[in-house]
Chain A
Amino acid sequence: MAEAGSEGPLDADDEIDSLDAAGSDDSLDAWSIRSIVGTMLPILIALSMLEMGSGYILEELQQTYLGNPTLLVLVPVMIGMGGNLGAILSSRLSTRLHLGLLEFDPRDEVLWTNVTAILGLAATVFSVLGVAAWLVGRIIAQPMALVDLLVISIVSGMLLAVIAILLSLVATYISYTRGLDPDDTTIPVVTNLCDILGVIVLSGVALVVLN
């Protein structure tokens, strides 16, 4: 399937591609269509299959979501924000690791400073989200109770933030012990896992609150 998709529109560029391959310039080769698609497409396909996990939850709870369209307002933010928070923490951790300053010690004060800042950011963002979703809901859809929305947004948001923090710490620690550069590994791992977990956490919390 993916193969067929990548062959079709490419005839004109295949020439360029083979020119690249024939050339002795390595850097140009890294910019060939075949090399970019060949590297990325398998990863993208694997990630899409993982994402189907959260899609399945949405589909399974179709009645809940389509019955309360205001909940759908939360979905894109839940998908993105865990990854954003994790990315901030991961890049801070890997910078400290590169500087030789990071200790994986529960008594490390700077570690707790970072975690506190992330939790503060999450609390702010998800409180604003709850209120904003309520306002939007009043305009475009049937209104939901403000309290319900705030509880759903803040509880699932904070849970997601905790998950993002743990994932960042674990991913950085594993990269460190395996000798990988955390700059290359942590952000993709953390953002994609948080993408998927965002919808799952949101759906779980929404079900509990609404029932």
Chain B
Amino acid sequence: MEARQSAWRIYRESLPILVVSLAGGIFAGSVLGSEGMTSGFERFPGMLLLLPAFLATRGNVYGALGARISSGLHQGMIDPEFSRDRRLVNAIAASYINGISVSVFIAVLSWGILQVLGRESARLVELVSIMLLSGVLTSTTLIFGMLTLVFASYEYGLDPDNLIGPIVTTLGDFFGVFFLFIALTVAGVIF
């Protein structure tokens, strides 16, 4: 009886955040399944190959930045505001480098895998341009969006450790796929 109650409590406490994450995922999925996106996938072979790596980068790069910032806030090493603080500038610059290098890397890797397998593939310059554009847009929005939200909630006395995960997931779902859509559309016009 007691076991059932505590299982119910874990369920109740965890459900809200999973529902937020679910909503973000469904939004991202709706963009992915939209006609503009699927025709982009058909037009540029290799995009489906790099998609999971692209989606995963969000949590890996910007989640790590968030964890670092929240530790820095807790330890009093950085202030909760945008300033020319060396630690903050370094952390932001490093996230840019990580986010954009990984985006370009997965474009090259997908192209390479398709070449080795002798499969049809978009040109290297096409895949790299799409990933570069979506990488730059996503990095900028996620880094500054997340920092703004974390700083603001820290000022209100909330613990950033509890916020980073949901914020990164939600912003990432929303903007990651949206900017991928923009990049595919732009590439469709240029190439």
CB-CB contacts of A102-131 with B at 8 A, as 1s and 0s? 000000011011101110110011001100
Number of interface residues of A (CB under 8 A): 79
With A20-B86, A137-B33, A140-B33 known as contacts, the answer to whether A36 contacts B48 (CB < 8 A) is no
Residues of chain A with a CB closer than 8 A to B108's CB: 1
Q: Please provide the 4 A-B residue pairs with the shortest distance between their CB atoms, ordered closest to farther.
A: A73-B29, A5-B101, A77-B25, A51-B53
Contact count band on B: 35 or more
Chain B binder among A9-17, A93-101, A162-170, A174-182: A9-17
Set A10, A65, A125, A192: member contacting B56, Cβ < 8 A: A192
Give me the interface of B with A, judged by CB distance under 8 Å: 3, 6-8, 10-11, 14-15, 17-19, 21-22, 24-26, 28-30, 32-35, 37-38, 41-42, 45-46, 48-53, 55-57, 59-61, 64, 68, 72, 75, 77, 86-87, 89-91, 93-98, 100-102, 104-106, 108-110, 113, 119, 165, 169, 173, 177
A-B contact list, 15 entries, CB within 8 Å: A6-B97, A28-B87, A33-B94, A36-B68, A58-B49, A69-B32, A72-B37, A74-B29, A77-B25, A80-B59, A120-B7, A125-B19, A136-B33, A140-B30, A141-B33
Question: Is the CB–CB distance between B49 and A56 below 8 Å?
Answer: yes
What is the interface of chain A mostly: helix, strand, loop, or mixed?
helix
Residues of chain B with a CB closer than 8 A to A109's CB: 3
Residues of chain A with a CB closer than 8 A to B48's CB: 55, 58-59, 62, 65
